[in-house]
Structure 1
């Protein structure tokens, strides 16, 4: 197993959580009496993500030890996302809208999580109440919006904090800049985005993958 693959495995679960959270925030009626300012920011973040039909961006995934992997993210609403890691990693994470799949080509292994049963996967369901899971965290900077997402009834799912910056040219006026995932073992993973491109051509083929496992298995 190469060093890059080991780095990835140390934060793969957090990356999977992040993959579920990025396209997840959908309209909802608040389930708690949040301050009006917080409600406005949460609603604006929800609307900004709703306004994204397709997106591509470069990303850097960094673990708590400062070790990093790079790649390209492709997103298409609803629920489809692809993390194409650098070639040396021989790794891929894809959600086709039904399941989240991690493919490790270096060892020819595939892991899948049904979205309906995945950590924080309920957020992909527009009928669920997102405000039950999302909380605004004040940053002290009017141009930065921070949304913490957690399911308090399932602390084992971890916590995701989404960070938006105000940008007039971004859908909804907010751009998702990075997110921080903290799993139940306190392993911290940060995924930073750059070169975001909106409304780019994306097809269902972008969320398909080649199965590296032998066709004949005993």
Structure 2
């Protein structure tokens, strides 16, 4: 695969952190069910497929561990990494030797990584015609630069709180849309803390 670099890191961070909705008409208690699912999920691993607004697809492996740790490891040949060490979210571009950082508390990832966060203050259930789907949109009107995210869950009795996170769609502040789909989800298996370490990118000398 040939790596081309038209991905903007902030939009990427929103995309990978932002679960999005389809079209659902769900009961009022669905948001509480989502909160129970998030609280019951201490670790998760999954394969992900990310599609940007131009239709380009990247794949990789997602690893999550609460509190605050997440890693999006891209397929071989893609020299970028999105990772949180529990305090900060980092976007690493090894091709150009660039590292960018955001506090986890100021990131849309907070809804996935902080089980104590009250989703009812910034999220709502999105109506859908499919009773098997629960979609929750998160948006902070005080922070429009964070964009708008919506998580998509499927009802599945074997998953935590009866919900399986299927993926998300994200809209950044410039209305750029990114879709992430998850497969092979596994919950609450042991995950070592060193899974969230990373090598510092080396700055490219010109």
Question: TM > 0.5 between the two?
Answer: yes
1:92 paired residue number: 81
Shift of the 125–193 alpha-carbon distance from structure 1 to 2, 3 Å rule, reads closer
State yes or no: 1:52 paired with 2:41: yes
Q: In the alignment, does 2:11 pair up with 1:14?
A: yes
Normalised to the residue count of structure 1, the TM-score between the two structures is 0.82
| Correspondent of 1:153 among 123, 142, 148 | 142
Find the aligned partners of 2:52 and 2:115 in 1 and give their Cα distance.
31
Q: What SS does structure 1 have at the residue aligned with 2:125? A: strand
Aligned residue pair count: 197
Q: State the 1:68 CA deviation.
A: 0.8
Could you say if the C-alpha distance between residues 77 and 135 of structure 1 is closer, same or farther in structure 2, counting changes exceeding 3 Å?
A: same
Partner of 1:37: 27
For 1:113 and 1:3, the matched residues in 2 are separated by 28
Structure 1 residues without counterparts, runs of 5 or longer = 23-35
Q: Which residue of 2 aligns with 1:180?
A: 169
5+ residue gaps in structure 2? Answer: 20-25
Higher relative contact order (CA 8 A, sep 6+): 2
CA contact (8 A) 2:39 2:115 kept: no
> Comparing both structures, which one devotes a greater share of its residues to helix?
1
Aligned to 1:76: 65
Please give the per-residue CA displacement for 1:84-135, whole angstroms capped at 9, x wherever unaligned.
001211111101110001111111211111223x344665566654212101
